[in-house]
Amino acid sequence: MTPPLMPYALPETLAAELETVKAYWSGLLRGSADMPFADDLVLEALPDLAPSLALIEAFTLPERFRFSHIGAGLEAEQSKPLSDKFLDEVDLHFPFDFLRSQATAAVESGAPNYHSQPASADGKHGAYERLILPLWGDGHTSLLLVAIHRR
């Protein structure tokens, strides 16, 4: 039987900025763990990328997601502040199209995942790529590191 395709699968190559974030995430792995621990993450380790990074807390039963940190570059593009807001409480648009489903896929798979969006037809928004990296805490995937790269 052929294994199912993973939604939001990583491409063969990532943009340099996304590869830097993924390499940092991989460097946090302890021993044979599949994902790093959330308390090992230090956003200050990625100062040049901070404006395009976000952290999303993952909750279970029911599954919900909340922005706990959003980089200044991402926050500036939003019509309303997103920090401390649950994803299902706000209108998500550029560069957060399909974010809830991608976050669910990251929690379910426990693996990095990727989304790419072409430029909008109206020319208001350029193309972007988004990487989500899961982190472990409190017995489950508790945090998602989100990195956005604009093309």
Q: Which CATH number fits the domain that encloses residue 74?
A: 3.30.450.20
Q: For residue 86, give both structure tokens.
A: 């649950």
Residue 41 lies in a domain: no
Mean pLDDT across the chain = 93
Measure the CA–CA gap between 50 and 146, rounded to whole angstroms: 11
Measuring CA to CA, which residue among 25, 59, 31, 55 is closest to residue 138?
Answer: 59
Q: Under a CB-based contact definition with an 8 Å cutoff, are residues 59 and 88 in contact?
A: no
Is-above-0.95 flag for pTM? no
Q: Under a CB-based contact definition with an 8 Å cutoff, are residues 65 and 55 in contact?
A: no
Q: What confidence tens digit (pLDDT) does each residue in 88-136 have?
A: 999 888 899 999 999 999 999 999 999 999 998 888 888 999 999 999 9
Beta bridge partners of 141: 136
Domain count, the chain: 1
Q: What confidence tens digit (pLDDT) does each residue in 38-62 have?
A: 999 999 999 999 999 999 999 998 9
Dihedral angle, C-alpha 115, 63, 43, 41, nearest 10 °: -110
Residue numbers of the domain that contains 132? 16-33+54-117+124-150
